[in-house]
Amino acid sequence: MTHPAVEIRDLTFTYPDGRQALRGVNLRVEHGQRVALLGPNGAGKTTLALHLNGIYTADSGSVQIGDLILADTSLAEVRRRVGLVFQDADDQLFMPTVRADVAFGPANLGLRGGELDARVAESLVAVGAADLAERAPHHLSGGERRRVSLATALAMRPDVLVCDEPTSGLDPAGRRELVAVLRGLAITQLLITHDLSFALELCERAVIVSGGTVVADGATADVLADEQLLETHRLSLPYGFNPATVGKRNPGA
């Protein structure tokens, strides 16, 4: 395996109204890694995520997923390889039933009939939502919606999973279920989150993005232990939480 799962080189991007969102981001993620993307609001984390599947096009720099460089011609395949789970599940669940939503992605890839049904079933089982197939998305609870969104992304069998604030709005049980699901997935994961204990629990590596660039990149426990770093970039640990002790109690994840 010569290519990393994700390689971002010198990515810059300015919004149409003039605000510069990304000022040269460099990031390299190996296969199977779970990386937490941390940073203050407005740092550009969501913008960065939307570059990974070509929703936004950078002003300069490049995005490479596996052996494929992101370009107009490779757009469709890149979108298959990168599964994006949006911050607001309602933006992502737009079909009348859960089944239709999960089927949407693979159907666009060309799956039909029995094959399509099988893929839908497989994705729903993976997130523990098989019993929700005939339900309407607007009648689901927050946690159920989040898991179904995840299923819609997984149905494309992506190589890389990018989640934008996956634990926001979840109650403790929902959070626990999500952690279990993500831990069980053997694919490369990029998790944008404010939830630092979630980051520590799932990700061996943490990257801080602030002001449009990467300002820190290292083992999660180390990054979180650097109080000065956290404070500069408007991050703070949950009260009473000591990353040093956590790391020692749960070696590896």
> Which of 76, 125 has the CB closer to other proteins?
76
How distant, in Å, are the alpha carbons of 106, 151, 161, 187, 220 from that of 29?
26, 23, 12, 12, 14
For residue 50, state whether it binds other proteins (rule: CB under 8 A): yes
Q: Report which of 204, 250, 242, 212 is spatially closest to residue 34, judged by C-alpha positions.
A: 204
CA distance 11 to 63: 8
Sign for the CA dihedral angle at 148, 152, 153, 156 comes to: positive
Selected binder of other proteins within 5, 86, 166, 167 (CB under 8 A): 86
Q: Please report, as residue ranges, which positions from 12 to 41 form the binding site for other proteins (by CB under 8 A).
A: 16
Residue with tokens 């469709």: 76
Map the footprint of other proteins across residues 87-116, applying CB under 8 A: 88, 90-92, 94-97, 100, 103-105, 107-109, 112-113, 116
121 scored as a contact of other proteins (CB under 8 A): no
Taking CB under 8 A as the criterion, the residue among 80, 146, 175, 233 binding other proteins is 80
Asked if 136 interacts with other proteins (CB under 8 A), we say yes
Sign of CA dihedral 35, 38, 41, 43: negative
In the chain, count H helices and then E strands.
11, 10
Residue 219 beta carbon to other proteins: minimum distance, rounded to whole angstroms: 30
Q: Which residues bind other proteins (CB under 8 A)?
A: 16, 50, 53-55, 57, 72, 75-76, 79-80, 82, 84, 86, 88, 90-92, 94-97, 100, 103-105, 107-109, 112-113, 116-117, 136-138, 152-153, 156
